Each structure stands twice: as C-alpha cells, then as structure tokens.
Amino acid sequence: MVKRILNLILIFGLFVFSGCKKNELGGKSGVSGNVLHHGKPIANAVIYIKFNAKDFPGTDLKVYDTQISANTNGYFEIFNLYKGDYYFYAVGEDPAISAPYLVVGGMSVSLKSRERKDIDIAVGEE
C-alpha cells in the first residue's frame, strides 16, 4: 500500500513539474511593441529577454536567455513564450544624439497563458 502511494506521488510530481516551462520557448503567449527613444523608434534595436525575471538582471548580456531584433521601424514581436515573468532589455543606437549613440532600457512583463501584450520599451542614453 505504501509503495502504491509513493508511486502515485511520484507520477503526480512528474506531471506537475513537466507542465512548467519556465526557461524555454514554445508557448502560446507573446509580446509585441516598439523600442522608443523620446518617442522616436530605434531601428534594429536588439531586445534581450530573461525568463522568470521581474527585476532588471543587469547589463551582462550573457545572463539573458534569448534575444530578438526590432525592425527598421523599431517594432519587435515574439509569440512563442510560456506564461510567466520576463524582463525585456533593449539596446540600440540613436544617431540623432552625440556619440556614442547608445541607448538602453528595459521593463518586466508578466504573461498569462495564451496572452498577448503590446508594450513600448523606452530607452535612454546610457
């Protein structure tokens, strides 16, 4: 009897943990939006994404789990995320400001299952 209960607990635990997809892509939730510097789109900005994060993970780009690029109009989208918390950190160049042109900024996003959000990531001079 005890062995049967332990087996049931083990099977239940496998189902619970296999249902959590915290650090990979493949879900049905997503985010789209624009990278903006003083309301102006930042072309070809790179957006680094940290899974399971509500707070800024820092400027070391190696700690981020994936990245996407904005198009020439500053627009980006990623629609294969699982529900959970994400931190989006955008890095781009704005040639309208004095050298070195680098602008950065970020924000956290929480997604529910099959939810899609539109966001704007405001960036500023580093």
Q: What is the pLDDT of residues 61-88, one digit of tens each?
A: 999 999 999 999 999 999 999 999 999 9
Q: Cα 17 to the chain's mean position, in Å?
A: 22
CA dihedral 92, 44, 88, 52 (to 10 degrees): -130
pTM, rounded to two decimals: 0.83
Contact 12, 65 (CB under 8 A): no
Query: Has residue 46 been placed in a domain?
Result: yes
pLDDT computed for residue 91 by the predictor: 98
Query: Has residue 60 been placed in a domain?
Result: yes
Query: What is the amino acid identity at position 117?
Result: K
Contact 119, 107 (CB under 8 A): yes
Query: Has residue 5 been placed in a domain?
Result: no
The mean predicted confidence, pLDDT, of the chain is 89
Write out the H or E segment, with its range, that includes residue 126. Answer: none
Other Cβ atoms less than 10 A from the Cβ of 11: the count is 10
- DSSP single-letter state for residue 43: T
Residue 72, domain CATH: 2.60.40.10
Q: Which domain holds residue 44?
A: 23-125
Q: Give the total number of structural domains in the chain.
A: 1
Query: Has residue 74 been placed in a domain?
Result: yes
Query: Has residue 91 been placed in a domain?
Result: yes
Q: Are strands 102-111 and 124-125 parallel, antiparallel or unpaired?
A: antiparallel
Say what percent of the chain tops pLDDT 90: 79
Residues in the chain, pLDDT under 70: 1-22
Query: Has residue 9 been placed in a domain?
Result: no
Query: Has residue 16 been placed in a domain?
Result: no
Query: Has residue 98 been placed in a domain?
Result: yes
